[in-house]
Structure 1
Amino acid sequence: MVTVGQIMTRHIVQLDAGTSAIDAAKLMKAHKIGSVLVKRDDDIVGIVTEPDIVRKVVGTDRVPYFIPVEDIMSSPVVGIDEQRPITEAADLMEQHGTRHLAVFRRGRIVGILSVRDLLHPVSIDEF
């Protein structure tokens, strides 16, 4: 069985609440990722994804310099334990209509799992 922890992205990129949508997009571009976690103080309060920026900013003709990420983020962040099978992660994404999950270990976020991660080639014997 392939677990979430085996294929997740361990590099977590965060930004502060109040950051503009344009800065979030620039951060995603710089790190070549499709999502960033939003934090307030030391707490993760949401996640902003590429589709959030496209649909909630660009697609509505809003000016991204003046839109704080908390206006477009998804909250709370949907997550899964790193020891769970990837099939459960895919089901959870489907249930919540999301392409990204926070990955938890003992209640702490230790990675991000995206639908792209689920597409990585895996041996059929491991399922």
Structure 2
Amino acid sequence: MLKVKELMKQDLTSVQSHETAYSAAMMMRVLKIGSVFVKEHDHIVGIVTETDLVRKVMAMNLSPESTSVASVMSAPVICINQDRPIWGVADLMEQSNVRHLAVTDDHEAIIGIISVRDLLHPVAIDDF
């Protein structure tokens, strides 16, 4: 059975909590990703996603250049262990109403991320 660690991305892109929504959005654009972790003192304290930027910044008519990521991040970060079966990802995402999960090792350290988009890859391969 396919496990989370086989589909997760190991790139942990992050911004500091005092940075702006604009800088997070630009980072996502350049790296072609849908989320970035938010750090304070080298600890992940939240996550900012494209959805957060749309719903909490743009739809609220806030200035992306002056809105901190700390004020719009989703926290706490919802996590799943790397050794869980992949079907557990969709279940946890649905229960938590999120599209991105942090992936943890056995010591509960965040080592990756998995998104709804990552779940589509094995389905596409199995269809052929």
TM-score range, shorter-chain basis? over 0.9
Structure-2 residue corresponding to 1:88 = 88
Give the drift of 1:60. Answer: 1.4
Aligned partners of 1:69, 1:112: CA distance in 2, in Å?
Answer: 19
1:43-54 → structure 2 map (5 Å cutoff)? 43-54=43-54
Deviations along 1:21-41, whole A, 9 cap, x unmatched? 000000111111000000000
1:103 aligns with 2:103: yes
Q: TM-score, normalised by structure 2?
A: 0.93
Aligned partners of 2:41, 2:30: CA distance in 1, in Å?
Answer: 23
Deviations along 1:3-23, whole A, 9 cap, x unmatched? 000001111101101100000
Supply the AA of the counterpart residue of 1:26. Answer: M
Aligned partners of 1:120, 1:114: CA distance in 2, in Å?
Answer: 11
Structure-1 residue corresponding to 2:13 = 13
Supply the AA of the counterpart residue of 1:114. Answer: S
Tell me how large the CA RMSD over aligned residues is.
1.0
Aligned partners of 1:28, 1:37: CA distance in 2, in Å?
Answer: 11
Give the drift of 1:59. Answer: 1.1
Structure-2 residue corresponding to 1:31 = 31
Give the drift of 1:47. Answer: 0.2
1:115 aligns with 2:121: no
Aligned partners of 1:63, 1:39: CA distance in 2, in Å?
Answer: 21
- Corresponding residue SS for 1:33: coil
Provide the identity percentage: 48
Consecutive unaligned residues of structure 1, counting only runs of 5 or more, are none
- Corresponding residue SS for 2:65: helix
Q: TM-score, normalised by structure 1?
A: 0.94
- Corresponding residue SS for 1:45: strand
Aligned residues: 124
Give the drift of 1:61. Answer: 1.2
Aligned partners of 1:49, 1:31: CA distance in 2, in Å?
Answer: 13
Give the drift of 1:121. Answer: 2.8
Runs of 4+ in 1 over 3 A off after TM superposition: none
